[in-house]
Amino acid sequence: MLLLLALALTTVHYSHRCNTASISSLSPGDNGFIGESLGRILNKNRKYGNEKIICYTPGCEEAAASVINNMDISIDPCDDFYQFACGKFIKYAIIDDDKPFQTTFSVAGDTLLNNLRIIITEPIKPDEQRPIKMAKLLFKSCMDKEKIEMDGLVPFKKMLKTLGGWPVLEGDKWENAEYTWKDIVYKIREMGYSVDYLIRFSIGIDSKNSTMRAIELDEASLSLKGIDEKIVLRYYSYMVDIAVLLGADRHRAVKEMVQSLEFEIRLAKILMPAEERRDTTKLYNPMKLDGLQRNFPTIPWKEYMDKLLYPQTVRRDDIIILSSLKYFSQLEILLYTTPKRILANYLIWRLVTQCVCFLTEELRKRELEYHSEQSGKTEREPRWKECVGISSERFSLAIGSLYVRHFFDENAKKEALEMVNGIREEMYKILSTNDWMDDETRKHAIDKADSMTINDKDYFTSMMNFTKFATHYGFSLLRQPVNKSDWIHHSKTAIINAFYSYDENSIQIPAGILQGVFFSSDRPRYMNYGAIGFVIGHEITHGFDDQGRKYDKHGNLVDWWANETKKRFLEKVSCIIKQYGNYTAEEIGLKLNGINTQGENIADNGGLKQAYNAYKVWTRRHGEEPRLPGPLQNFTPQQMFWVSAANVWCSKYRPEALKTEITTNSHSPDRFRVIGPFSNLEDFSNDFRCPLGSKMNPVNKCQVW
């Protein structure tokens, strides 16, 4: 499942000092407001356009004010459309000390969090359903900082003792020198915590038979993000300080934590590169238990998996899917040659990092200092926001149901579904008319598009109990039938995001995103098609990106492409990879990784095109819509579609956060999510009359769908 954006729910303080006047009082002829290049475009609009009808509803007034507060109309839209559409947002948006960035997603997220706060702080009713009561109690315990400080580290240290103790804390008194890494993993599993520190173990859907579940063994998840010298030194300092704050002797912590660090670096070096992991066929290596034991004999696999699956057991005929055969071969050597104490220190350290945020302010402060070096933020978000986020995530179904009941307009759902159908119809047309697909592959592609569906204890102990429940539930699914429309797995409604699932061939448009800059039923459709329509088209196109194309309409990993058509597809994708790989974030002097971001870039380009074409079809059926008031009355509905689409990606990043974004995210930075796809589409250049050869209308364009 691909996320549209890695979301941070943050607060916005957005200056409106440039547009405090009524929008209707701004003169479209004011040279300070409209630059010379744009003036020529607008004069052509007046020359060729029909008589203008202006919309003055509250929704149109609000939409116009929002757009004007973002735009820098002194910029030539044919030179830099991102700066044109978002220039004033970038200039005047304030990134609070507790935020790594400010985006339109975080603005919508702030509204959402405030609404969730209203829900979750309401008194518990006697007849309220148990999950809702539990969500409210979790929020309450999270907010009780006084009790958290009073409890201190007692609950946590008790948990460490149950695990056999953390060697760096116990010193020479550590009594479990014979503990193997497996013993510690088993104890961690008994308590319900993550077991992914060496081998990611999960129950997933068999990629080649999406009606069945399978055991999945994947590479370790790491806490260390990159092995750049500065990153490593900061991480090591953090490791030592946390150990000392928990009671370790500093001299011992310095010595033993460097050994844990060196082990994690060795783990990092045997991981498959992110670029290679994009090839999903390489990640599908199925075998039965006997084959697993024969290939990797130093690990007692039946015992290992039985301990993790308890009370279930692994069977001889169960399908076990490995992501990387090379990783497991090298992991065997690494585990065999690493002393037990180092492995114990490392495993417990990884568990500690997951728990710090639930403990005392002293530990949380040190955690913030470490993360600040990666994000640039210097403060934590307000406690209430953190607690609302935790409670609504852990009890997403309960809180989502309350959110829909209190704040969701059913008309919004109806209009969104209409847009989904219209945009999907445009995908059909693209699949039916492109000149590079053979007929048989085209038939399968259209069939796939047609099949796509929408679908009061102490705080620390409470959080650990929830983790234990979630782990038990996830592993219990092994032999359960796969229900692709199961509401339990589609319950995140109160979230600003959208999703596509490869193994379900489904998209999800949560209720939470149908607001703000993304959607309003009280504004022209060109604004909605540009914003949420772009999002919908993006998710639909994921079914046909570099990874999604490898799955059939049922969500099975099947090669249904003719060789010549596949070759042409890869040639088109190569153009996208090179285009984005040549972009540089000038603020930090860092180039984008065109390979790692190719899937999201394909989805952006295809999704924007589909949304625009769907709006043209809607216009032919319903007629041209009224224009927005004030200076925006000089922009055609088609031009406002592009402005609305660009406004989705208005953002301002701290340098540290932007660097992290480029090095770790599969999405391109927001600026290039506008510059890239807009400059590839002739419809954009036609609507803004951009000369061929201008920056937003290059001679050579890339297009997959």
Rounded distance, CA 189 to CA 300, Å? 16
Q: Are 67 and 632 in contact (CB under 8 A)?
A: yes
Is residue 144 part of the annotated active site? The answer reads: no
Q: Are 400 and 492 in contact (CB under 8 A)?
A: yes
Rounding to the nearest 10 degrees, give the CA dihedral for residues 434, 436, 442, 444: -130
Q: What sign results for the dihedral spanned by CA atoms 173, 175, 177, 181?
A: negative
Q: Which of 76, 504, 604, 661 is catalytic?
A: 604
Q: Are 269 and 232 in contact (CB under 8 A)?
A: no
Rounded distance, CA 676 to CA 668, Å? 10
DSSP assigned state of 627 = B
Q: In the numeric block, which tokens belong to residue 318?
A: 């169960």
Q: In the numeric block, which tokens belong to residue 20?
A: 């405090």
- In DSSP terms, 94 is beta-bridged to 13
Q: Which of 35, 9, 23, 29 is nearest to 67 (CA)?
A: 23
Q: Which residues, at least 6 apart from 574, have a Cβ–Cβ distance to it below 8 Å?
A: none
Q: Are 596 and 274 in contact (CB under 8 A)?
A: yes
Work out whether strand 453-454 and strand 320-322 pair parallel, antiparallel, or are unpaired. Answer: unpaired
Given the structure tokens 């079809």, which residue do they identify? 617
Residue 594's identity, in one-letter code, is: G
231-to-225, 257, 272, 444, 456 alpha-carbon distances in Å: 8, 15, 20, 46, 39
Within 13 Å and on the Cβ side, how many CA atoms surround 624? Answer: 15
Q: In the numeric block, which tokens belong to residue 323?
A: 């992501």
DSSP assigned state of 435 = S
Q: Which of 539, 545, 552, 661 is catalytic?
A: 539
Is residue 539 part of the annotated active site? The answer reads: yes
Q: Are 137 and 456 in contact (CB under 8 A)?
A: yes
Catalytic residues: 539, 604
